[in-house]
Chains A and B, each alone.
Chain A
Amino acid sequence: MLPLKEKDKPIVQKLLTAGCCARCVLRFCCVSVQAAYRQAQHETLKELQTFIMEKENNKVQDSAEIKPHNTELSQTVEDPPCKKAKLDPTEAVQSETDAAAMVTLKKESSVCVVCLGILQDLCGPDQAAKIAETVKAQNYEFDTLVLSVSLPAQLCVREHSCWVHVKKEVRQKGLVLDKDDVIQVKEAFKWVMQGLVTRQLEGVAVVSKSPFEVGVEFTHPNTESDCHFLAKCCPDCFKPTKNKQSVFTRMAVVKALEKISDGKFLEHYPCPPSEQSGSCTPQDIQCLHVSVFIAGRYNKFCRSLPQTPWVIDGERRMESSVEELIAAPILSAFRADGFNFSSSGREDVDVRTLGNGRPFAMELLNPHRSRFSKVEMKQLQETINKSSEKIRVRDLQIVTREAMSRMKEGEEEKTKSYTALVWTQKSIENEDISFINDIKDLTLDQKTPLRVLHRRALAIRQRVIHSMNVRFVDSHHFYLGLKTQAGTYIKEFVHGDFGRTKPNLCQLLKTDTDILELDVEVRIVAHVKEVKGDLLCFPEQVRICLWAIQNILLYFMHKIILRQ
């Protein structure tokens, strides 16, 4: 039975007359017993009507007995029909109640003026079935779900109107009805729907926080203009939006309602709110899974592969890219809608990435599948590595959102190792270049290279080359190894960039030089944890040896077992 008290009667009376549905009445009476909302609406309505009838009946009797009669309320509910029959012909004093009763009876099937049908026909087993159907069709993997409800902003205005309407009544009794005590439409909706949805989805719990969100949205185009008067009364709450979206967001409307005085409100808006003939329209149900984050390290072995897709004026200039090659198998395994790729630094199209590989992280958007075991991640890594010779991935793992931001950390502090193939115009011998090995901590002044000057500011950057080493190839070529500060432009150091990088290799060798190839080597970086047991940790030669030893041992063990 409904946990209503005597003091609630005038509120119930007033709201039913105003055109509120049964559940909204319960909300304004601050009923927080969820079961009360779950029972069928018409049942609740009947109980409410009986409840207020009781008051009138008790008026006839001793008014002093009102308090003890509270407990009897629940018992007298059983014979409302008889009481009604009694009322109509005999009690002329109760004509007001009659009218009220008639009015409430008439309004049983009409749309609630506050919730516009959301707590009436729009919340029940049918909607739960629809939700369950959509969720199942989209084929997500999930243990729990959270139901998110989006209501039209004008419901706040209507709610406010009803609250003002009953405030007067309540104050007369010397009581206070705090707006915060009133149960929100959203909450009541969820109380009704959660259990129903769980049942439809074979026991999946509907909780308050979950990685999987099912969004239900309602609109009511006819009443959209209800909010507009607020823009005139509280203009500072409504900021003009650049998009074509409405200025009347829920937040802005709530803010304005907090500020506006009751008097001003009543000037512009009917109290109680106007009746509507149609209820809200439910929009398509949206399912969204929270993003999953993947991290790893990649090597690039190709000299014609950009890191991100290279598109100019809608035309693709170079086939494929590092991020697309890595993302493709991952997207299909996780059944995600899209991705964001982030890496710790980047290299040019024509530069190889060797060594342990460059750390990267990816955000997978709306993954339909989110749980992968370590073994499955290894298999996914293998799939990526088999898909292309141009890249290789290692230490692939699922990480948290923080990993994405940590990618960019420490980019400035790192030391980078490079190997460049240098061409010299004049003929050289080994002795001519050996002095380079002894150069330590050479400071360069690098003006922004011409090749990037169109999109970066003109500036002079000081960068340090910590050490170099040379490997003679022939009279016009040698390999130059460099360990430099992060952010050093290696190509410009080698060819001088029209003399805008000083000192440069041309000056050091006193001949024109040019760079033919460049490789970058990334050392172990703590950003991406090593996945233990990943044989790719070891350099190539060691790996081959281990593999050979493993196979030899297996062969002998096999033989021993056979002999026995």
Chain B
Amino acid sequence: MDCVEQSNADAEAPSVIDRYFTRWYRADMKGKSCEDHCILQHSNRLCVVTLAETHPILQDGRTIKSINYQISNGCSRLNNKVSGKSKRGAQFLTDFAPLCRIMCSDDTEYTIYSCIRGRLLEVNENILETPNLLLGKPATEGYIAVILPKFEESKSITENLLTREEFESVVSKRSLSQPP
């Protein structure tokens, strides 16, 4: 009695991300080569900050030594407390606000940035316990943070971000200019 045809079978069924989210990208964050971030924007305007597949942390078999949400003496993203429907008490982030610092086994350190303006709702504490989540599932369980942009800005925040196609063309240009 379904009045809507459901696409059955096939392992290529649209995933949760494809069904609810739009992917936006920020390439070469703060001018640093290849430090690409992927913002998953939900149809209800919430944004999930994740590492793009091209991020150096995910390359060359690196492992993660530590993840630190303490970004300055006075501020730890772990102290972010949100209450109520209007999410009062949340730390307000701007595009270049740091979310966390990740130290890899080869002593390289990377800072992950917010990329959008909005209230910080939560940071992923699961990756503190299980850093491998970030390596294995950067787009889902290895997410970094959830941000709620202001209602008025929900459309405009993506103005500075690249669509999937745009990002892919940026990436392909990179590999062309890379020395073989």
Name the distance in Å between B94's Cβ and chain A's nearest Cβ.
20
CA distance A457 to B148 in the complex (A): 12
Within 8 A of A (CB), among B1-50: 1-4, 6, 8-11, 13, 15-16, 20, 42, 44-46, 48
* A442-456 interface bits toward B, Cβ cutoff 8 Å, 1 = contact, 0 = none: 000001001111111
CA distance A423 to B10 in the complex (A): 9
Within 8 A of A (CB), among B71-128: 82-85, 87, 121-122, 124, 126
Give A349's nearest chain B residue, CB to CB.
B4
A458 contacts the other chain (Cβ, under 8 Å)? Answer: yes
Which residues of chain A come closer than 8 Å to B20, judged between CB atoms? 450-451
Which residues of chain B come closer than 8 Å to A451, judged between CB atoms? 20, 42, 44
Name the distance in Å between B123's Cβ and chain A's nearest Cβ.
12
Contact flag A303-B6 (CB < 8 Å), given A454-B148, A498-B141 = yes
Query: Is A304 in contact with B4, judged by CB distance below 8 angstroms?
Result: yes
Within 8 A of B (CB), among A390-437: 390, 421, 423, 425
B69 contacts the other chain (Cβ, under 8 Å)? Answer: no
Name the distance in Å between B51's Cβ and chain A's nearest Cβ.
14
CA distance A240 to B4 in the complex (A): 53
Query: Is B126 in contact with A499, judged by CB distance below 8 angstroms?
Result: yes
Which residues of chain B come closer than 8 Å to A514, judged between CB atoms? 13, 15-16
Which residues of chain A come closer than 8 Å to B137, judged between CB atoms? 499
A474 contacts the other chain (Cβ, under 8 Å)? Answer: yes
Count of residues in B whose CB is under 8 Å from the partner chain: 34
- Within the complex, which residue of A390, A447, A476 is in contact with B9, where a contact is CB–CB below 8 Å? A476
Contact flag A303-B4 (CB < 8 Å), given A458-B82, A474-B9 = yes
Query: Is A450 in contact with B146, judged by CB distance below 8 angstroms?
Result: yes
B133 contacts the other chain (Cβ, under 8 Å)? Answer: yes
Query: Is A457 in contact with B85, judged by CB distance below 8 angstroms?
Result: yes
Which residues of chain B come closer than 8 Å to A421, judged between CB atoms? 6
A19 contacts the other chain (Cβ, under 8 Å)? Answer: no
Query: Is A423 in contact with B13, judged by CB distance below 8 angstroms?
Result: yes
Within 8 A of B (CB), among A177-205: none
Query: Is B3 in contact with A304, judged by CB distance below 8 angstroms?
Result: yes
* A496-526 interface bits toward B, Cβ cutoff 8 Å, 1 = contact, 0 = none: 1111000000000000101011000000000
Contact flag A302-B146 (CB < 8 Å), given A458-B122, A476-B11 = no
Query: Is B9 in contact with A477, judged by CB distance below 8 angstroms?
Result: yes
Query: Is A425 in contact with B141, judged by CB distance below 8 angstroms?
Result: no
Most buried by A among B3, B46, B82, B124: B3
Which residues of chain B come closer than 8 Å to A477, judged between CB atoms? 8-9
CA distance A242 to B24 in the complex (A): 45
Query: Is B6 in contact with A517, judged by CB distance below 8 angstroms?
Result: yes
Query: Is A496 in contact with B140, judged by CB distance below 8 angstroms?
Result: yes
Which residues of chain A come closer than 8 Å to B3, judged between CB atoms? 301-305, 389-390
Which residues of chain A come closer than 8 Å to B143, judged between CB atoms? 498
Most buried by A among B1, B2, B16, B87: B16
Give B139's nearest chain A residue, CB to CB.
A498
Give B21's nearest chain A residue, CB to CB.
A450
Within 8 A of A (CB), among B42-67: 42, 44-46, 48
Give B86's nearest chain A residue, CB to CB.
A457
Count of residues in A whose CB is under 8 Å from the partner chain: 34
A495 contacts the other chain (Cβ, under 8 Å)? Answer: yes
Contact flag A301-B13 (CB < 8 Å), given A454-B44, A516-B6 = no
Name the distance in Å between A547's Cβ and chain B's nearest Cβ.
19
Query: Is A453 in contact with B121, judged by CB distance below 8 angstroms?
Result: yes
CA distance A447 to B146 in the complex (A): 12
Contact flag A454-B45 (CB < 8 Å), given A302-B3, A304-B4 = yes
Query: Is B13 in contact with A450, judged by CB distance below 8 angstroms?
Result: no
Which residues of chain A come closer than 8 Å to B15, judged between CB atoms? 512, 514
- Within the complex, which residue of B4, B13, B124, B126 is in contact with A302, where a contact is CB–CB below 8 Å? B4
Which residues of chain B come closer than 8 Å to A498, judged between CB atoms? 48, 124, 140-141, 143
* B122-158 interface bits toward A, Cβ cutoff 8 Å, 1 = contact, 0 = none: 1010100000010001001101001010000000000
Which residues of chain A come closer than 8 Å to B6, judged between CB atoms? 303, 421, 516-517
Contact flag A457-B141 (CB < 8 Å), given A450-B48, A499-B126, A517-B6 = no
Which residues of chain B come closer than 8 Å to A495, judged between CB atoms? 16
Query: Is B126 in contact with A425, judged by CB distance below 8 angstroms?
Result: no
Most buried by B among A303, A423, A458: A458
- Within the complex, which residue of A303, A389, A458, A499 is in contact with B141, where a contact is CB–CB below 8 Å? A499
User: Closest 4 CB pairs between A and B?
Assistant: A499-B141, A301-B1, A454-B44, A302-B3
Interface contacts beyond A474-B9, A476-B10, A496-B140: sample of 13 additional A-B pairs, CB < 8 Å, sorted by A: A301-B1, A301-B2, A302-B1, A303-B3, A303-B6, A352-B1, A450-B48, A451-B20, A454-B46, A476-B11, A477-B8, A498-B48, A499-B141
**27 interchain pairs, CB-CB under 8 A:** A301-B2, A301-B3, A302-B1, A302-B2, A302-B3, A302-B4, A421-B6, A447-B122, A450-B20, A450-B44, A451-B20, A451-B42, A453-B44, A453-B46, A454-B45, A454-B148, A455-B85, A457-B83, A457-B84, A457-B85, A458-B87, A458-B122, A476-B10, A477-B9, A499-B137, A499-B140, A514-B16
Q: Interface on B for A, CB 8 Å cutoff?
A: 1-4, 6, 8-11, 13, 15-16, 20, 42, 44-46, 48, 82-85, 87, 121-122, 124, 126, 133, 137, 140-141, 143, 146, 148
Q: Interface on A for B, CB 8 Å cutoff?
A: 301-305, 350, 352, 389-390, 421, 423, 425, 447, 450-458, 474, 476-477, 495-499, 512, 514, 516-517
